Each structure stands twice: as C-alpha cells, then as structure tokens.
Copies of this chain bind each other. A is one copy, B any other.
Amino acid sequence: MSEEKTVKEIKEINIALLGLGTVGMGVYKLVQRRKNELPRKIGCCVKVKKILVRNAYKIRDGVDNDLITDSWDEILSDDSIDIVVEVMGGLEPAGTYIRQALEAGKNVVTANKDLIAEQGHELLVMAEEKHCDLLYEASVGGGIPVLRPLKQCLTGNNIDMVLGIVNGTTNYILTRMTEDGMEFDEALAKATDLGYAEADPTSDIEGYDAGRKLAIMASIAFNSVVTFKDVHTEGITRITSTDIRYADAMDCVIKLLAVGKQEEGQVSANVYPMLVPKNHPLASVNDSFNAVFVHGDAVDDAMFYGRGAGELPTASAVMGDVIDISRNLLQNCTGRVGSTCYRNLPIKPLGEVKNCYFFRLQVEDMPGTLASISSVFSKHNVSIKQVIQKPAKKHGSELVVVTDFVKENDFAKTLDELRTMEMVYEISSVIRVYA
C-alpha cells in the first residue's frame, strides 16, 4: 500500500486470507462476527477481500464464494489489500508468499510456527526495512496473549526464564495418564479419537511442535535469535504410569516443558518431560490447556494461561494482530515494533545445562549394591537428594533416585557407567525434575 495514505483516507482495511482450513475459517467467521463493532472499536472496517485456496471450484458453506481465488498473484498485485493473513502453514509456499507480500509493502499476520521458528528473524528484518508489520501471536499458545506481552508489557525486564506447556496434545495425554491412570498408548488413542492428536502424532509427542514454539518465545524473551535447530527436544513416549505414580508420591506431576533460560551470557532452549511440584502454577494446567510461565528481574513470576489451539481461540490471536496493524495503518506507523533481537547470545550446549534428575533402576538385591551405585554417582559429582529402595515385582530391588543439580554431561556419564554394571538389570526411566 502506498505511503501517502493518511488517517482520513483509510476507512476500510482489506485483508487477504491465505488458506481456509480450521484457522482460516475461524478468522473468516470472527471478522464477520465483529463487522459492525470494529468501526466503533478501532475506527475502521476490516474486510476479507480475497481468500487463497488450492481448489477454487469447491463450494464452501458459509463463505462468500466471490472472495475465493487460487491465484496468489491476484492477491499480491491487489494494492487495496493492506494485510495478508497467512494461515496455510508449512515452510513453502507460505515463506515465499510472505516475503513477496512484505516486498510489496503489505503487512503480514501469520500463525505459522514452522516458518517463524526457522526464518522469523530474517522475515522480521525484511518487514522492518519495508516499514511493515509482521505479527505472529497465534504461532505460540493459540489464543493466549504471550508474544505481545513479552515484547511490549515485559520489555522493561531482563527475562531469564520462559517455561511453557505449549503443546495441548501431549498435555492432554499426560493429564489422562495422571488422572485416569492410563498408559501412554491408551491416552494417545483417546487424544486421537477426540481430534486432539493428528493421524501422525510425531511432531506433538516427540516435542517438535513445542520446540518450534520455544524457539519463537525464547527469541523474544531473551532478545537473541533462537531457531528450531537450536532446540533440543525429547518427547513423552517413554513416560509410564509407574513414573506418574512415583511423581505423585513425590508431590509432583509430569509435564512436557519447553524450557528456555538465559544465564551466564548464554541461552539454552530445551523441550523435555519434567517432574513439576504440584504447588507450581504450571502443575494445574491440565487437559489441552497451555500456559507460559516467565521470570523477569522486575516482574518476578508471571504466567499466561488459556487455549493453545482450536479454530476460534487461534482466530482470536490472529484478529488481535489484524487489529493492531489496522491501528498502525490508521496512524501511519506500521513497523512500529520490529525485531527485538539485538543480542547475539550463543546457545548453551545441552551437555552444559544443569538439571535435577529422577531415575528408576532395577538392581540386584544384595548387600553392597547401594554402596557400589552411590560410588558411581560421587565419581561423577552427582549428589543425591532422595533415594527410595523397595522390592521389585519380579526379582531384585527397584531403586528410585532423585539428584541435585548436575550437568547433563556428567549425568550422561553416570548413566553410561551404571549400564555397564552387572548389578544394574535395567534403567527403567530417566526424567528431569523442575527445581
């Protein structure tokens, strides 16, 4: 759009939707639903001018079919379109479309975590050069306001930690395992039945989805670019109902956490299941709800909670971005807040990250077992916080150990050595503990 437009000329903001899946339909519906109020609320109309789909000939119920097009060029060359709302997902062609839109001076809203987690910074810089907005609130935490609060409300802080339950599927599975005593496979089947898990659930249950969201959050929280490849991810497939019961006995629940930290001039970004004390606010985030917990040097602890997915919650976040840009268009100040990654902090290698560990071993039941095992711990500087030993179901003993903070590298060496010991039959589970 031309830079000459002034407040008075713009009475109608035109948007183009790229994609008409779940989120696209949600945005379309929400724009219709707010049609009459927006002029009074923000001083202009917001209108869906075009909708890009793959098959333009399919009849879509409840959608004005005149808006449908299968030609991206038609949208790109339409100067009346102020905002491109990309809700098709995936790296391509979404990435190319967004770049071309920015190049043409159009503002962009996207819900695309895959793209932002990999190319967010590059796209933001491009938007900045063009004095355009590129907003992506919906890419993390669905409807929950997370990115704007981090980037604007909390920007007076030095944020040193961001902890998220940002994948609804795995949180639903872990909640069923905790509340109903299900095993992982059964809970996953239930999540699939209810439509919470996709046909191929890999991205959710292996933590990739959470990893992408963590990359996006961490970049904003720590003002330094973190991409998906910087994030170490572990999923929840190995969590058993036995682990959940032990966690419960220790007044903890097991959650898949996206853990971003800034310390000693480095950033770490890791996704793994953790034991979380029941009195921590994240412990009561259940079912498919999401939450993001942050710590800043001024604000102390804060948490944002809500629906991490779904047609209308996600559309709520997209609409918030569309309205933000509309307000900027009215004031001629698009590009008001661009990239805030002014630091260039190195990524801390996983091996250097410190964690507490819960682990469960099946061991030989004879005098000296505990002593031998303990000596392996002390050799690798692993100090023990808690030990439970009890007879195993079949033979031998089950040993449950909770460690103090230990470097991931040192702990890995400890495990390696334990695996070579004859008296250790099995290492049944290894889960980090949030402390």
Any B CB within 8 A of the CB of A157: yes
Residue of B nearest to A300 (CB): B307
On whether the beta carbons of A156 and B300 are closer than 8 Å, the reply is no
Interface residue stretch chosen among A254-262, A312-320, A395-403: A312-320
Q: Which residues of B contact A145 (CB under 8 A)?
A: 145, 149, 153-154, 302, 304
* Identical copies in the complex: 2
- Is the beta-carbon distance between A137 and B155 smaller than 8 angstroms? no
Q: Which of B298, B307, B342 sits near A301, CB closer than 8 Å?
A: B307
- Asked whether A315 lies within 8 Å of B156 as measured between CB atoms, the reply is yes
Across the interface, A331 reaches (CB within 8 A) one of B298, B300, B333, namely B333
Q: With a 10 A CB-CB cut-off, give which of A149, A156, A289, A312 has the most chain B CB atoms.
A: A156
* B316 with A154: CB separation less than 8 A: yes
Contact indicator per residue, chain A 143-166, by CB within 8 Å of chain B (1) or not (0): 111001100111111100000000
A139 at the interface (CB under 8 A from B): no
Q: Determine if A391 is an interface residue (Cβ-Cβ < 8 Å).
A: no
Contacts of A300 in B (CB 8 A): 143, 306-307, 310, 312-313
Interchain CB contact (< 8 A) of A336 among B304, B306, B331, B340: B331
> Separation in Å of the A332 CB from the closest CB of chain B?
7
Nearest CB in chain B: distance from A154 CB, A: 6
Question: Complex: how many Å from CA A109 to CA B396?
Answer: 67
Is A232 part of the contact surface with B, judged by Cβ < 8 Å?
no
Q: Which of A67-75, A190-198, A322-330 contacts B (4 or more CB under 8 A)?
A: A322-330
The segment from A34-42, A356-364, A411-419, A420-428 that touches chain B is: A34-42
- Chain B minimum-CB-distance residue to A31: B156
Bound complex: CA A153 to CA B327 (Å): 12
Q: Which of B284, B303, B312, B323 makes the CB contact (< 8 A) with A299?
A: B312
Residues in chain A within 8 A of chain B (CB atoms): 26, 30, 33-34, 37, 40-42, 137, 143-145, 148-149, 152-158, 223, 279, 281, 284-285, 289, 296-307, 310, 312-313, 315-320, 322-324, 327-328, 331-333, 335-337, 340, 342
Q: A149-B149, A156-B319, A331-B331 are in contact. List 9 more A-B contacts (CB 8 A).
A: A30-B298, A33-B158, A145-B149, A156-B316, A156-B320, A298-B316, A299-B306, A299-B312, A304-B304
For this complex, 29 residue pairs linking A to B, each with C-beta atoms less than 8 Å apart, are: A37-B342, A40-B342, A41-B155, A41-B340, A41-B342, A143-B300, A144-B299, A144-B302, A145-B154, A148-B149, A148-B152, A148-B153, A153-B317, A154-B316, A155-B320, A156-B319, A157-B316, A298-B315, A299-B317, A300-B307, A300-B312, A300-B313, A302-B305, A303-B303, A305-B305, A331-B333, A331-B335, A332-B333, A333-B336
- 5 nearest interchain CB pairs? A156-B319, A145-B153, A302-B306, A298-B316, A333-B333
